[in-house]
Amino acid sequence: MKYGLIGTDVQYSYSKKLHEMMGRDKYELLILKPEQLALFLTKKEFLGINVTMPFKVDCMQYLDNMEQRARQIGSVNTIINQRGFLMGYNTDYIGFMYLLNKNNVDVFGKDCVVMGSGGTSKMIRVALQNKGAGRVRYCSRIKNNGMSYRDLANDIDVQVLINATPVGRYPNIEDKPVDIREMKSLETVIDINYDPYTSALGVDAKERGLKYVGGIDMLVMQAGAAHKLFTNKRVSDNEIDKLTKKIIRGSINIVLIGMMGSGKSTIGKKLAKKLKKRFVDTDDLLEQSADASIAQIINARGIDEFRKMESNLIDRCSSLKNAVIATGGGAIENIDNIRKLRKNGLIVFLNRDLDKAIKSVFEEGNKKRPLAVDEVTYKRLYEERYEKYRMCADIIIEDTDDIKTIIKEIIEKAGI
């Protein structure tokens, strides 16, 4: 191959898509076993490659030279073949610094811990030191010179936690390297994995009200820096921002929550069309799978059984990509539903004016709304659920009668 990415687990990588978007039409993803690395690099049948886990350190022994930064870090993620002379670089450093700056992550004087002991962890530790972090430690599954995950889970001093391991990335999105509940001083969680959009670790951080940053910004910027090495053409920050939005738009789900009558289905269909995403209505899917209406399901099986069916369906929907998902009004009653949907989705609360929502519901008729049989019951449900909606939401859209304005606001607030 001329250009591409090598690693043991690259089939889910966004790198091919990114480099093709930057104009590199022949960029390959190549899975190598550890025992194949030496032959691949000594044959030198490529012009430029990116390197990912677990080869960022091991590849260095086959290089003819390295830039000073890569040498300082002790890790290489980009190799250029200059007529048989292999030169190593570390563009991950550029990407990580960009991530910190773009997301206003302040590490100066902070107690920072990096999970992982490989090449990416080495890079992050150097970057943190260069940004003036107060203390930089690392942990791994096997306690060497660093901490173990068990030690970390009980550490009350850590303020900035960074996951530089593959734990929690697609398709194993339920996994997380550590439980952060006992980290009393924790302020910021960064997960350099970018798929799913919010890792299980990130969901925990958001539920605690901590600052969370995923790895998509780092991914795109390091790819832009590698592209410059491949082509000698710089990718501007404006282009990086556009590429990031395109990647997010093409993968992330938009999840609509809110009361019945808030317009989730109507807005969801138009939003999906605008963003070229699939539209999914969980109530409709539930009725199709049960071959019965929501009212019939609740009347025949009871509300508890209905909620179990709804949660099972949402579990399946949470694995979707590039979809707009309209949920039932009571989906937020089970916080696990939101945890699942949040991993690859942004939660949008459509907070329609109460009187307008009631008018919409009861003008349509109430056949599909068995839990709100009259206006009094509707208002009671709204009051019970209101704080849950706000707590679950990444984005809140206050009432507007203009669907185009709502869609525009969702897109702007989602950053896509």
CATH number of the domain bearing residue 372? 3.40.50.300
The Cα–Cα gap between 6 and 388 comes to: 44
Query: 50 and 148 in one domain?
Result: no
The Cα–Cα gap between 126 and 119 comes to: 11
Known catalytic residue at 56: yes
The Cα–Cα gap between 41 and 291 comes to: 58
Query: 381 and 264 in one domain?
Result: yes
Residue of 348, 393, 346 whose CA lies nearest to 249: 346
pLDDT of 143 strictly over 70:
no
Print the domain residue range for 288: 252-414
Q: How many domains does the chain have?
A: 3
Banded model confidence at residue 100, pLDDT cuts 50, 70, 90: very high
Task: Express each pLDDT in 262-309 by its tens digit.
Answer: 999 999 999 999 999 999 999 999 999 999 988 899 989 999 999 999
- Look at residue 146 in the predicted model and tell me its pLDDT: 67
| Alpha helices (runs of H) in 55-187, residue ranges in sequence order | 68-73, 92-102, 119-130, 149-153
Query: 47 and 131 in one domain?
Result: no
The Cα–Cα gap between 137 and 322 comes to: 37
Query: 54 and 7 in one domain?
Result: yes
**Rg of the chain (C-alpha set):** 24
The Cα–Cα gap between 256 and 350 comes to: 7
Task: Express each pLDDT in 54-89 by its tens digit.
Answer: 999 999 999 999 999 999 999 999 999 999 999 999
pLDDT, greater one: 396 or 362: 396
Q: Give the DSSP letter of residue 258.
A: -
Query: 204 and 318 in one domain?
Result: no
The encoded tokens of residue 163 equal: 């996951």
Query: 347 and 333 in one domain?
Result: yes
CATH number of the domain bearing residue 37? 3.40.50.10860
| Peptide bond between residue 54 and the one before it cis (omega within 30 degrees of 0) | yes
> Is residue 278 left, alpha or beta, with left meaning phi > 0 and alpha meaning psi from -120 to 50?
beta
Query: 45 and 174 in one domain?
Result: no
Query: 338 and 266 in one domain?
Result: yes
CATH number of the domain bearing residue 124? 3.40.50.720
The Cα–Cα gap between 85 and 98 comes to: 29
Residue of 337, 15, 368 whose CA lies nearest to 194: 15
pLDDT of 367 strictly over 60:
no
Of 196, 214, 232, which residue is a domain's last? 214
Query: 393 and 261 in one domain?
Result: yes
- Look at residue 369 in the predicted model and tell me its pLDDT: 61
Do residues 252 and 345 lie in contact, with contact meaning Cβ atoms separated by under 8 Å?
Answer: yes
Q: How far is CA 414 from CA 54, 179, 348, in A?
A: 33, 28, 9
The Cα–Cα gap between 162 and 138 comes to: 9
Task: Express each pLDDT in 193-226 by its tens digit.
Answer: 998 899 999 999 998 999 999 999 999 999 999 9
Q: Which residue has the tokens 């302020």?
A: 187
Catalytic residue among 56, 110, 131, 264: 56
Query: 256 and 350 in one domain?
Result: yes
Average pLDDT value for residue range 89-112: 97
Residue of 331, 351, 352 whose CA lies nearest to 340: 331
The Cα–Cα gap between 117 and 167 comes to: 13
pLDDT of 141 strictly over 80:
no
pTM of the entire structure?
Answer: 0.87
Banded model confidence at residue 147, pLDDT cuts 50, 70, 90: confident
pLDDT of 366 strictly over 60:
no
Query: 158 and 240 in one domain?
Result: no
Query: 181 and 130 in one domain?
Result: yes
